[in-house]
Structure 1
């Protein structure tokens, strides 16, 4: 099992506004999120299969405790209520979000020796965010 713990700083983001629009984030929240030049993801291990995923931006900080292969409630950084299921497949942490009205989104975080690449999927929209390990 890959070591996914660490602190990661956002370096680049492609198609993120389109992804946020696809998942239903309003115009003002999308513009605020797009203007952020800093975002830090910090993953800590708290038990055998238990972790905390902390995301820090200049506007907001969220913490999501999770256990691999167990669904947990999640309030997304933009305030949506969803269920999240995390699985670890080699060096890829998969997060599947499900919500009301059949909402479904997937975030694959691929861990490399120097950082992580987060690929976000919703319907026919894909965004890629690259982070450097700090």
Structure 2
């Protein structure tokens, strides 16, 4: 039995692991990697807000100077812009207490959001196997 409401809420970034290697693996241009490296730090107060209600998913990512919002329906393809301008086709699925996200279009990445203790873990895995993990605490 899953309780996706446990993922709901605002989560502050506290750690990022292997982001640069992941972005290289998915073919992100050097200037966009440098921008992500500057922005994706706990000091920048990055907040991810998750709302899952029924089959509707809303994700908001607040980074310095910008809020990115994605609204999707579980199992349906949604078009989402990537940080470097590539347009991705994204499908969200629920698997127990995990929110799965499959991205394609220019690259393929399988991403998972799940709880580990009191942390939200966001794991991104490129089709090459290179992965990056972000850890958040609930606000």
TM-score by length of 1: 0.89
Matched residue, 1:133 = 138
The count of aligned residue pairs is 131
Deviations along 1:52-108, one digit per CA (max 9) or x if unpaired, are 1111111432111011111111112332101101011111111000114xx311111
Q: Aligned-residue CA RMSD in angstroms?
A: 1.6
SS of 1:107's partner is strand
TM-score, normalising length: structure 2 = 0.86
Preserved contact between residue 29 and residue 84 of structure 2 (Cα < 8 Å): no
Deviates more, 1:36-45 or 1:77-86: 36-45
In structure 1, stretches of 5+ residues that fail to align are none
For residues 81 and 73 of structure 1, what CA distance do their matches in structure 2 show? 7
Q: Secondary structure in 1 aligned to 2:35?
A: helix
- The structural deviation recorded for 1:115 is 2.7
**Structure 2 equivalent of residue 83 of structure 1:** 89
Counterpart in the other structure of 1:9: 12
Unaligned runs of 5+ residues in structure 2 are none
Is contact 2:32–2:83 with CA below 8 Å preserved after alignment? no
**Kept in 2: contact 1:120–1:126 (CA 8 A):** yes
